[in-house]
Amino acid sequence: IAGITQAPTSQILAAGRRMTLRCTQDMRHNAMYWYRQDLGLGLRLIHYSNTAGTTGKGEVPDGYSVSRANTDDFPLTLASAVPSQTSVYFCASSDGPQGTQYFGPGTRLLVL
Partner 1 sequence: SQQGEEDPQALSIQEGENATMNCSYKTSINNLQWYRQNSGRGLVHLILIRSNEREKHSGRLRVTLDTSKKSSSLLITASRAADTASYFCATLRVDDYKLSFGAGTTVTVRA
**What residues line the site for partner 1 (CB under 8 A)?**
4, 33, 35, 40-45, 48, 58-59, 90, 92, 97-98, 100-106
Is there a contact between 97 and 57 (Cβ–Cβ < 8 Å)? no
Q: C-alpha 56: how far from its chain's center? A: 12
Q: Which is nearer to partner 1, 10 or 80 (CB)?
A: 10
Q: Which is nearer to partner 1, 27 or 45 (CB)?
A: 45
> In the complex, what is the shortest distance from the CB of residue 3 to partner 1, in angstroms, rounded to a whole number?
10
> In the complex, what is the shortest distance from the CB of residue 54 to partner 1, in angstroms, rounded to a whole number?
14
Q: Which is nearer to partner 1, 75 or 105 (CB)?
A: 105
Length of the chain: 112
- Which burial class, exposed, middle or buried, applies to 5 when counting CB atoms under 10 A from its CB (0-12, 13-18, 19+)? middle
Q: What are phi and psi of 98, to 5 degrees?
A: -95, 0
Q: Which is nearer to partner 1, 50 or 65 (CB)?
A: 50
> In the complex, what is the shortest distance from the CB of residue 6 to partner 1, in angstroms, rounded to a whole number?
8
> In the complex, what is the shortest distance from the CB of residue 60 to partner 1, in angstroms, rounded to a whole number?
10
